[in-house]
Structure 1
């Protein structure tokens, strides 16, 4: 087992308030795995994905995940992570941390009075934060990834 973080984060940029609408259609009803209902085949409203995932633009930035240590949280290599710096990094939350100068994404855990960064892959042990230089950059609020074979 490795104690080094294996899912790193590469900053992509800050979220900006959108002045031009970038909305896509939002369909009424749920997506079923069986036969679709003809009554659900109409539009309800448009949805702006940016407005849905970015609640506080001045405090939000995007990073790209690299590695496999957070697969159990649904974070895969190449995923786009939405990170909010205004949220408190409470134990149990997935956070972006500058650990000894390198950005990583892990779940913040607390055992007694000690804090750890926990991977979501059994191949990696928790990383104790005691005695390490660690600065929380923000809390991950959303993960965007393409399904296999769907990305172009």
Structure 2
């Protein structure tokens, strides 16, 4: 089984940057520490996650096959088609005409697409017609349960 993706569009190269305050310091995921009371800088989030706007597009993931890799149903994937995929990359790829999102890997010396969920078997790439759409560089995941 594959994780289907829905094409959302390309990066808008003419869009004006939206600068969002970037708080100084770090948000610790372990023991809490006092927050700093000032803003360090401003951050254009798109400029931070999109390195090559003319080669970048967005897709929406669907399904549970990539959850171990932090990709959940409904996430927006940032995909760069200018990158040459290497083993370990998460890619959006058409295999025998079906578009999916999986991690490139090997079993033995043979290439496979690997799911991030043990319920799904690896997909062999030998003798399959494959077209890589691009390498997933980031994903946008809501922590509010779909409430935005």
Tell me the TM-score normalized by structure 1: 0.89
Counterparts in 2 of 1:124-139, with a 5 A limit? 124-139=120-135
Paired position in structure 1 for 2:102: 106
Q: Say what the alpha-carbon RMSD is for the aligned residues.
A: 1.6
**1:34 aligns with one of 28, 32, 38:** 32
Aligned residue pair count: 146
2:64 equivalent to 1:68: yes
Q: Deviations over 1:57-106 (max 9, x none)?
A: 01111000000000000000000000011111111110000122221000
**2:82 aligns with one of 82, 86, 89:** 86
Q: Deviations over 1:111-146 (max 9, x none)?
A: 354211100101011000122221101000001110
Deviation for aligned residue 1:9:
1.1
Task: Give me the whole-angstrom Cα distance separating, in 2, the residues matched to 1:138 and 1:122.
Answer: 24
Tell me the TM-score normalized by structure 2: 0.91
Contact kept, 8 Å, 1:10 with 1:103, in 2: the verdict is no
Q: Which runs of 4+ in 1 moved over 6 A?
A: none
Paired position in structure 2 for 1:22: 18
Paired position in structure 2 for 1:121: 117
Deviation for aligned residue 1:34:
2.1
